[in-house]
Structure 1
Amino acid sequence: MSVYGAMNAAVSGLKAQSKSLGNISDNIANSQTVGFKRVDTSFSEMVTLSNRRSHAPGGVIATPRYRHSVQGDVGQTQIGTNMAISGAGFFVVSKANSVTPAGVSLDSEMLYTRRGDFEVDRFGFMKNGGGYYLRGRPVIDQTTLNVSDLLQPVRIQKDVMQAQQTSRIKYNLNLPANSATFSPRHAVDSQITQNTSAAQPQITTLTFGGTAITGDTVTLTLDDGDPLTLPTPVNFTYTGPTNNLNQFLDDLAAAITAAGAQDGGGNAITAARVNNTITLTGGNAGPFSVTVPAGAWNTPFTATTAVNMANADETLLYSASGSFSGGAVTVYNNLGAPVDVQFRWIKTDTPDQWQLLAKDPNAAPNAWTSAGMITFANGIPTAVPATMALALPASNFAGNITIDFTSDGENGMNSVGENGLTQFYAEDISVYRLDQDGYGAGVLSDVFINDFGFVVANYDNGRSKVLYQIPLATFNAPNELQRLDGGAFNRTPESGDPLYAVNGNAGAGLIIASATEGSNVDIADEFTKMIVTQRAYSANSKTVRTADDMLEEVINLKR
C-alpha cells in the first residue's frame, strides 16, 4: 500500500537528515581543530519499483562525503617545529604502542595526517597534538643533502656537535693596480748633523730609535769641517738578526771605526755604542760633523723584508705605503680552539707582484708569516699558491689550510669557478668574501623545519645541521582514506597506496614552515546546511503524520 510506502520513505528521510545533522554537528565541533577535514552528506535515492506505469516509494540513504583533499586555512604559529601543507599530500606518522618513563615504543604501521602542530617531546621525538609521531628520511650527507630511503621516526638527539678543523678559506678580493710599492718608514732620521767646538775633544752622538731589520743599508758621510779626512763614505749593510737594535748599532759603530776617518790632528775617529746611541770621538784639532744623507737609508725588498719588519715593529707595516689590510678570519684547530688570523697585502718592487702576509697571534714573537708571492698579468694571477701554513700548536693542528681564491659567483663580478683574486685599478683594496669551513664544538640550541621540508638543528656555535627530510604522501583517491582519532588517516583499497614525494615535487604540495593548517569547516556554510536539514526533517515528520492520519481514516471506515 502506498500509504505505508510513504510512511517508510518519510522515516528513511528522518534517518537521513539525522545523519546529516550528525555530520554538521561534528564539523561545527571541530571547526577549530588543527588539520580537521569536514564531512559532508550525500543523499541517494532507494528504488524498490519504478517503471512507466508504477513507482513505489523507496526512501533515501545518507552517506558521508569526506573532504580530505579540501585545503584548510594556513596560519602562522611562530613555532619552529610546526608546519603546514599547501596543496596535496599528508605527513607520514606513527602511533605509540606504549609510553613509559623509560621511553616510547612506536608502531611500525605508517599512518598519515595533515595535522602539523609538531613539537619535540621529552624523549626527543616530534609529536603532534593528536599524539602521532612524525617520520622522515635521515640526511646522510651534509654537503649534498642526500637522504636515506627509509622512513624513520624523527628524533632530535641533544648531543654536542664535534669541532671541525679549518681546512679551507674562501677568499675573493681585488687589489689596487695603481698602488705605490711597499716603502716602510725607517728607524733613524734621514739627516743627523752634529758640530763640535775646537776647544775640546770632538764628540758627535747619533741617536737611533725603532728596530733593526736584516738587510737594512745605511750610507754615512763625515763632512769635513777642515781638516777632517775620510777615505770613503761608510756604506753599511746590516746582516744580523731582525729586532736586535744593539747588534745593529754595534756593527755600525765598528764599520765607522774601520772606515779610517781622522780629525785634523791625524787622530783616528772612533765610534762606540752607548745604549741606543753611537758616539764618535776624535782629537781636539777642529770641528767635524756626521751626516746620514737623505734617502741613504735603504731596505732592499726580499721575501722576508715585510715579514721581518712586521715581526720587529708592526707599526712600520701599518704605516708603510703599498701595505693594505686584507681582513681577518677566525679559524679553528681540531679541538675547536679559535684563532684569529689577520691578512696583509704588500706591493713588492717587482711590477704587478704582491705578497700575502698572515698573522697568527699565537705564534709570537714571529706572528707574521708569508703565504707567498702572487704575480698578475692583465689583472689575473699568473700563479696562485694553493696552501698556507698557520703556526697553530702542533699537537692540535695537522696539515695546511687551503686558501681558495676561486669564485662562487656571489660577488657579482666573477662567474662560478673563475678566479676571485684580481688586480684592477681602484682606490683601495676590496674584499668581497672571506670565510672558512671550520667551527668549534656546539650544544643544541633549537630545532626548526624550513620551507624546503628539512628538519634543521641549530647549535650555540653558530652552525646548523640538517637532520631529516620530511616527505609527503600522496594518494590517487585521498577522500577514500580511513579516518582515525586525532586527525590521522589510514590507507584503504579504495584510496590506493601512498606515493612519497619531496616538497613541491611529483604532485605533492609545499611545506610552509612555522604554520599549521586549520580546519576546512566553514561555520556559515554549516549553519546554512543545518537550517536546510532542520526544514527537511520537519517536512519528513509532517509526511509521517499525514500518512498516520490517512491510515486512521481507513481504520474508521469499519465503524
Structure 2
Amino acid sequence: MGVFSALTTAVSGIQAQSYALENISGNIANSRTAGFKRVDTTFSDLVPDSALNRQISGSVAAYSQATNSIQGDLTATRIDTNAAINGDGFFVVDQRLNGVGTNTQFSNSNIYTRRGDFDFDANGYLVNGAGYYLKGLKIDTVTGSLIGTQPEVLRITKEQFPAKATTSIEYRANIPAFPGTNNANVATPGSELLSPTGFTSNPLSTTEGGTGVVIGSEITSFLNQSIPGGSVTVYDSLGKATSVELRWAKTANAAAGPPATVDTWNLFVAQDTSATGAAVAYRNVNTSITFGSTGQLTAPATGNIALPTLTIAGTTISGIQVTAGGNGLTQNGDVSGQIDARSIRQDGYTAGTLDRTSVSADGQVIGTFSNGQVVALAQLSVARFNADNALKRLDGGAFEETIESGPPIIGLGTSQLIGGNIEQSNTDIADEFSKMIVTQQAYSANTKVITTAQEMLQDVFSIIR
C-alpha cells in the first residue's frame, strides 16, 4: 500500500500548499487595505498509528495563523476624525440594519476592528470605510462626566453650544505708585490724587464719603485725574457681548502722612462715556483698594472686587467679580505712570456651533466650537482581549468575540490613540513573495511525487501483462 499512500500523501501536500497560496493571495490583495491583518499558514503532520519501527512521516494539513496582534504602519491622513490605535486594542463598532437619520436601526452587537478611517456621514454618525459605525460613551459637556456605562453608536450633530454669562474677570496688573494722570506733577504733592474738589457729584467710593458715580458733565475732570486700566469683552446670559472699560484713580497717598496710612485706590467702570449732564458716565465699584509699603495688596484681602450691576450699550451685566488673587495686583514704581495690565481674561462666551472635531490620545472626541470653546464630546470605546489571535474574522477588517478569545476588556490600557492617522495593512509584500516561491516549489514537488507514483504503478501493471 506504500505507493497508494504516497499518492494520498502527495494530494494532501498539494491541498495544503493550495491553501497556503490562497492565504498568500489574500494577503497580497489586501496589502493596501486599512487595518487588514494578514493570515499566515501553518502546517501540521498527520501520522497514522503503527508500530514504532513501522511509523511513517505521514500526510499534512494546513491551518490559518492569525496576526491580529501585529500592528501595521501608521500613516497620517490629515483627517481629524481618523484614528489609529498605537498598541493593543480594537475599536468597538456596530452594523446598520435599516433606517436613516435618527431612525437608523443597528444590530446592537459589539464588533471589533483596527480600521480607523472614520468620518462623519450625513446624519452625524462616525463610519469607517467598511461601513462599520463607531461606538463609545457620550460626555456631558457641562460636567465633563460620562453618560451611561455601555458603548452606544456615537452621533455628533452640529447643535449650538449654549452661551455662558461672565461671572469672573481675571485681572493681573501693576498699579504705578505715582499715577501719570494729566494733572499729576511730581513737584506738587497730591496732584496725582482724585480730589472731590471741583466735582458737583463726589466720585469717591461710598466708603470714603462719596456718591460713587461720575456724571456726564464732569467726564473731562475725571479723566484728567485717573488712568486707564484696560478693557475686556464680557457676555450676558444670552451671549450678548459688551465691552467693560476700567479706570483707576488714586485717592490717598500714605507718603503724605496722616490721616492716610495706606495708599488707597478706587476702581471705576465705564457705563456711558458719551453721557451728558447728570447722566452716569462712570460708576465706582465702591470698594477701597489699598496697598502696603511693600506694594502688596492689603485690601480687599481676598483680592476679589465685585463689580456693580451696569447697563452698558443696552446690555445689563451683573454678578461679575474681578479676581486678582494674592499677588495679582501690585503697586510698584513705574516710570511710565501707567498701569501694566499683564492679564485681563473673563470666563464667559457667546453661543457657538461645532466647527471641527478631533481625537485625543486618550480616546476622547474633542469638539472645537465657533465661540472658541474646546469641549470633550465623547469617549471612544477600545476593547482589548487576552487572546487577540483567537477572534473570528468578518468582512471589512472586523472581528467578533469567541470563547477562545475571552471577553473584551474595555479601556486603552497602555495603548494610545493617534488622531489624524490610520493603521495600514501589516502585510509585507516582499515576505509574501518569498513565501509564494517556497509554496510553488513545494506544490511542484508534490506533483512530482504523484507523477513518480503513477509511473511505479504502471510498472506494476506491466508485470501483470
Q: Pick the TM interval, shorter chain.
A: 0.7 to 0.9
Unpaired runs of 5+ in structure 1? Answer: 191-212, 218-237, 244-300, 407-417
| In 1, Cα distance between equivalents of 2:317 and 2:233 | 17
C-alpha displacement at 1:3, in angstroms?
1.7
CA deviation profile, 1:513-551 (whole Å, cap 9, x unmatched): 111111111111111111111111111111111111112
The CA deviation at 1:79 is 0.9
Quick check: 1:118–1:129 contact (8 Å CA) kept in 2? yes
> Partner letter of residue 401 of structure 1?
I
Q: Which residue of 2 aligns with 1:521?
A: 427
CA 1:362 to 1:306, structure 2 compared with 1: closer, same or farther past 3 Å?
A: closer
Q: Which has the larger radius of gyration?
A: 1
User: 1:368 aligned to 2:271?
Assistant: no
Tell me, in whole angstroms, the C-alpha distance in 2 between the residues paired with 1:419 and 1:83: 44
Q: Deviations over 1:374-406 (max 9, x none)?
A: 212334322334421241379974741122223
1:402 and 2:321 aligned: yes
**Cα distance, 1:312–1:306 mapped onto 2, change above 3 Å:** farther
Q: Deviations over 1:77-132 (max 9, x none)?
A: 11111111110111111101114477421121111111111111111111111111
Q: What letter matches 1:536 in structure 2?
A: A
Partner of 1:284: none
For 1:358, the equivalent position in structure 2 comes to 269
Taking structure 2 as the reference length, the TM-score comes to 0.85
Q: Tell me: CA distance 1:362–1:47, structure 2 relative to 1, closer, same or farther (3 Å).
A: farther
The 5 A counterparts of 1:230-269 are 240-241=200-201
Find the counterpart in structure 1 of residue 178 from structure 2: 180
SS at match of 1:546: helix
Correspondence list, 1:405-484, <5 A: 405-406=324-325, 419-427=327-335, 429-484=339-394
Task: Give the 5 Å matches for 1:38-117.
Answer: 38-49=38-49, 52-100=52-100, 103-117=103-117
In structure 1, what is the equivalent of residue 297 of structure 2? Answer: 381
* Identity, % of aligned positions: 39
Cα distance between partner residues in 2 of 1:474 and 1:101 = 31
| 8 Å Cα contact 1:12-1:59 kept in structure 2 | yes
* SS of 2:330 mapped into structure 1: strand
- After superposition, the Cα gap between the structure-2 partners of 1:487 and 1:303, relative to the gap in structure 1 and judged at 3 Å, is farther
Q: Secondary structure at the match of 2:165?
A: coil
CA drift at 1:303: 7.5
In the alignment, what sits opposite 1:489? 399
- Partners of 1:362 and 1:552 in 2: CA distance: 116
The TM-score normalised by the length of structure 1 is 0.71
Cα distance, 1:182–1:306 mapped onto 2, change above 3 Å: farther
- DSSP-derived class of the 2:98 partner: strand
Helix, strand or coil at the partner of 2:454: helix
Which AA in structure 2 matches 1:180?
Answer: F
Q: How many residues align?
A: 436
The 1:366/1:510 distance shift into structure 2, 3 A limit, reads same
Q: Which residue, 388, 391, 396 being the options, matches 2:310?
A: 391
**Contact 2:358–2:367 (Cα < 8 Å) also in 1:** yes
The 1-side partners of 2:439 and 2:223 are apart by: 87
2:197 to 203, 212, 216: 216
- The aligned amino acid for 2:461 is I
- 2:18 aligned partner: 18
Residues 15 and 308 of structure 1, relative CA distance in 2, 3 Å threshold: same
CA RMSD of aligned residues (A): 3.0
- 2:104, 2:209 → 1: CA distance? 66
Q: Structure 2 unaligned segments of length 5 or more: list them.
A: 189-193, 255-262
Instruction: Give the SS at the match of 1:7.
Output: helix
